Amino acid sequence: MNSQMIGWISLLVFLLTIVVGIRKNVNLGILAIALGFILGFFVTGDGGAMSSLALKGKPITDLFPFTIFWMIVSVSLMLNVGSVNGAFDIVIKKLVNLVGGRRALIPVYVFLIMTIACILGMGTPGIVILLCTIAASIAKDQDIDPIFMLLSVLTGSTAAVGSPVAVIGIICNGYAEELWGQQIAPSYMLPHALAMAVLTFAFVYFVFKGWKLEKWPRTKAEDVPKLNGKQKISLLGMAVFIILSIVIGYDIGLSAFLIAAVLLLLKCADEKMVIATVPWSSILLICGMCMLIGVVQQAGGMELLTNVLKTCMNRFTVKPLYSIIGSLLAMVSSLTGVALPSMLPTIPDIAEAVNVNPFAVVTALAFGANCTVTSPVSSMGAIALGVMSTNSEWNSGVLFKRLLYWAFILMGVSAFLAGIGIAG
């Protein structure tokens, strides 16, 4: 069996992993590691086959993305303290209540709150559920299109692309360090991702004619409890973390573990809950797929895929095409576990071949993948649909179709923005 055939087989194994994992509802990461081990018997590295008895599979275990694992676990532990003790919930509810009766500003406020939460690494499923629930209540109470409110929340989450403490930013930084020797979030990706997020929301606001929402008399604000001492300490800890990791420049993982340890020593949250709510399933998926991608790369599969992509890309089409590829992959699989790990390794050669900034292509890919969170078949879109469907006045079937419709619209918006240079 020649090397090119092994390369094509490795790509087929990668695709089968995604299809079988989704159809059988098995964690893709666990399946990926198992199939990577089997594929390793046919892929040669230094010293022989990667899974041979002589090497004992060590070349495969060496592919475990420790940096990504370290960052996600540490940051999740720290942020979970504020999530478990309710500090984040109270802060977000207080911010939402500031809008008063100015209905035209409600979607803007919701978008800004979600954007800030995601930049600070707080864009967890729990926060999305909270904001979607609040958005659903506001939509009903203030007679605003529920899809408009949902899109205001979900487009705000796209800012996570440029955050060094969000999962997407952590993954992009991990690959950037490996491929180019430097981190690109927040220095490069955050300003470009923010610009794309704002313009995407502006497009949504324009289509729904948000400025025409008339002011209503201010209703009684929802009773929001005051922050207790432990919740205040948790928020202070987050502020210290930002200073340590972003302002001063200490390692993000070490800074996060330090803050988490202090907060747990001060009993700011239930330690068991904090540990249990770390997204272990997502971490397994991400790490497992990264390992399989490493085996595919060693087999020459990524080089073959890169060569195919080169034939249909030039300096004008590369960014919008990567944005569309990211969107389509994220619609049917995991953004962080599949879309990014599978496409990021192809960027250096293609960017060099067509003479474009590779960081701009990374931003286009990540943003394009993230903008399809509005799809009702994606995790966040499904959460949003589930929250909205609890209101009997809204037809869940209609909501599903409209969200899916908007996922494709925003895919086009993202590709357009990438094409005109907003991604860099």
> 300-357, pLDDT tens digit by residue?
887 787 677 777 788 888 999 899 888 877 776 667 777 788 788 888 888 888 889 9
How large a percentage of the chain has pLDDT more than 90?
17
Domain boundaries defined on the chain: 1-62+280-301
Q: Encode the chain in three state secondary structure.
A: CCHHHHHHHHHHHHHHHHHHHHHHCCCHHHHHHHHHHHHCCCCEECCEECCCCCCCCHHHHCCCCHHHHHHHHHHHHHHHHHHHCCHHHHHHHHHHHCCCCCHHHHHHHHHHHHHHHHHCCCCCHHHHHHHHHHHHHHHHHCCCCHHHHHHHHHHHHHHHHHCCCCHHHHHHHHHHHHHHCCCCCCCCHHHHHHHHHHHHHHHHHHHCCHHHCCCCCCCCCCCCCCCCHHHHHHHHHHHHHHHHHHHHCCCHHHHHHHHHHHHHHCCCCCHHHHHHCCCHHHHHHHHHHHHHHHHHHHHCHHHHHHHHHHCCCCCCCHHHHHHHHHHHHHHHCCHHHHHHHHHHHHHHHHHHHHCCCHHHHHHHHHHHHHHHHHCCCCHHHHHHHHHHHCCCCCCHHHHHHHHHHHHHHHHHHHHHHHHCCCCC
pLDDT of residue 219: 45
* Spans in the chain with pLDDT lower than 70: 1, 92-93, 95-97, 99-101, 122-130, 132-134, 136-137, 141, 216-224, 246, 306, 332-334, 377-392, 396
> 379-415, pLDDT tens digit by residue?
666 666 666 665 667 776 777 778 878 888 998 999 9
